[in-house]
Amino acid sequence: MPNFFTENSDLLYQFDRLDLKEVVELTESGYNQSEKYSFAPVNYEDAIQNYKKILEVVGDISGNFIAPRAASVDEIGASFENGKVTYAKGTKESIDLLSKAELMGMILPREYGGLNFPTTIYMMAVEMISRADASLMNIFGLQDIGKTIAQFADDNLKTEYLPHFASGKFTGAMALTEPDAGSDLQAVKLSAYQDESGNWFLRGVKRFITNGNGDVLLVLARTEPGTKDARGLSMFACYGDETVKVRRIEHKLGIHGSPTCELQFNDTPAKLVGQRRFGLLKYVIYLMNRARVGIGAQSLGISQAAYEEALKYAKAREQFDKPIVQLPVISNMLIEMKINIEASRSLFYQTCVWLDKKERYEDEADKFRSEKKSLAEINEKIKEASKITAFLTPLTKLLLSESANKITYDALQIHGGTGYMKEFNIERLFRDARITNIYEGTSQMQVVAASGGAINDILADYFNAWDKKEYKGNLSYLLAHIQEMRNIYYDCLKYLKDKKDKSFHEIASKDIVEIYGSIYISYLLLAEADTDNRKIFTARRFILDSLAKALKNQETIKLELYTDILHADTILK
């Protein structure tokens, strides 16, 4: 009876460390809902107890219900016949069970049937669901669509859609990508037009739409004919009714349980969400940031599953008269995975808390605005939280999805030839991981998004403050290593600045983002090691490894490895 929450000591550790006080106070605005809803918390401690209880339920369902179905979901997959998409049996059973458990509206307001949980807690649930079956995350993780409607749509739309999202009756999809608009969403062409009475209709094609067969679709469409950029795009909500034709579903390497659809909108009646022209600039950015965090959780879940499989196999498999886990090269690979997962988890839940803070501050500012209160202080907070999430979100998506690929790769390697066969879970995990660093923005796009924050040294004040802290015992030598990394970082920055070569910058920004991200995580792990002895090994391995990598990145830049980019035409001829 594996419970993916109570039996995952590191997840429990991160849960217990969460500092959500400010977030919960704002989310529950004075805990006044307990009068109306018997399940609403009466204070912070009660809220935390609620979260823990519910995560236990999710852990139980993930470990005992969803995980045992994952292999058959992968084998059968979602299917498409006569224009209709059907989930695999296991997918359907899991969604039904999660709906009965009232877990499909975790982040929606209570008045629409939701649980009103912070995103951080929801993401812990997403991590566990992903560990059980990565493809189910692509449906369970779509609660962000309801959240986007809750955040920006008018009350009519909220009342129309949200209770059905919360009950699990509706699933959603976000329809952004088009054949010619992938990473570059500004190129979206699908058109939205109005009839004489002002009703909106959609016409055009969307591609690679996860769960495109969903009941409610959020669609990015061009409302201003003749425009070519983001300012002509608006966001719509519509039903996946008979005017939305699923043309095909893709046959994919992994996440077989999640249908990826090509959709054709034939004058589909739709409703505008929020303001015109803000579709991409505001609402998609909001949705996309949340979705990226979701992929972080999915990556982490897959990594955890792969590590567990590799560890189990290494303990059971005997070669040279002993279990292979006792071979130094194998145990080293397992240690690397475990440290990587713990570092990732530490980064991940920090990112989630910052995202929660940013969104709660923004809600608070809206409230102040309507009450005509001064916004000066809250605006400062929003500015800070926005700056940090703008860096941490792409960083997290980048690092965690790349890690999931590395970890599943190594975990398969530990299985040897056996791992290449369908009989073992690792074969599926390896395939499932491969999409994580592609969709919701490729790793290359995440580097671009994170590089601004990295180059501008936006966390300098935090780093400086952490430098001044007293660390116990001999942890100070680790602090010295982190400071060494910072020096490497400044050295690289200066080199790039002096060099003044745009292409070179673009390529090298990956190195800079990696160094800067590692510095941040190193500080997080150092703080953890300071209060928890178990984390000393984690901090030591991670910081030394990061330092070694930073030195390599520095050399890569200073050896001018990338200057041959000027001769790309010749080399690639």
Contact residues for other proteins, defined by CB under 8 A: 1, 37-41, 49-50, 53-54, 57, 60-61, 65, 97, 100-103, 106, 115
Comparison of 100 and 373: residue with beta carbon closer to other proteins: 100
Taking each helix axis from N to C end, the angle separating 328-371 and 285-316, rounded to the nearest 10 degrees, works out to 160
Nearest Cα residue to 34 out of 22, 19, 44:
44
Which runs of consecutive H residues, i.e. helices, occur in 101-242?
Answer: 119-132, 134-140, 143-152, 155-167
Three-state DSSP state, 131: helix
Comparison of 28 and 410: residue with beta carbon closer to other proteins: 28
CB of 38 to other proteins, least distance (A): 4
Tokens describing residue 471: 């660390």
Distance CA 142, CA 108 (A): 12
Query: What is the DSSP code string of 40-76?
Result: S-SSHHHHHHHHHHHHHHHHHHIIIIIGGGHHHHHHH
The neighbouring-strand residues paired with 319 are 322
Distance CA 51, CA 55 (A): 6
Q: For 482, how many CA atoms within 13 A lie in the half-sphere containing its CB?
A: 28
CB of 61 to other proteins, least distance (A): 6
Comparison of 53 and 468: residue with beta carbon closer to other proteins: 53
Q: Is the dihedral of CA 74, 78, 81, 86 positive or negative?
A: positive
Distance CA 291, CA 26 (A): 23
CB of 65 to other proteins, least distance (A): 8
CB of 229 to other proteins, least distance (A): 43
Comparison of 15 and 283: residue with beta carbon closer to other proteins: 15
For residue 127, which phi and psi values (nearest 5 degrees)?
Answer: -60, -45
Comparison of 53 and 500: residue with beta carbon closer to other proteins: 53
Comparison of 37 and 420: residue with beta carbon closer to other proteins: 37
CB of 324 to other proteins, least distance (A): 23
Comparison of 56 and 215: residue with beta carbon closer to other proteins: 56
Q: For 528, how many CA atoms within 13 A lie in the half-sphere containing its CB?
A: 28
Comparison of 16 and 321: residue with beta carbon closer to other proteins: 16
CB of 211 to other proteins, least distance (A): 22
The neighbouring-strand residues paired with 173 are 217
Distance CA 231, CA 224 (A): 8
Return the CA Rg of the chain. 24
CB of 37 to other proteins, least distance (A): 8
CB of 102 to other proteins, least distance (A): 4
Comparison of 31 and 562: residue with beta carbon closer to other proteins: 31
Comparison of 54 and 414: residue with beta carbon closer to other proteins: 54
Q: For 11, how many CA atoms within 13 A lie in the half-sphere containing its CB?
A: 24
CB of 108 to other proteins, least distance (A): 12
CB of 49 to other proteins, least distance (A): 7
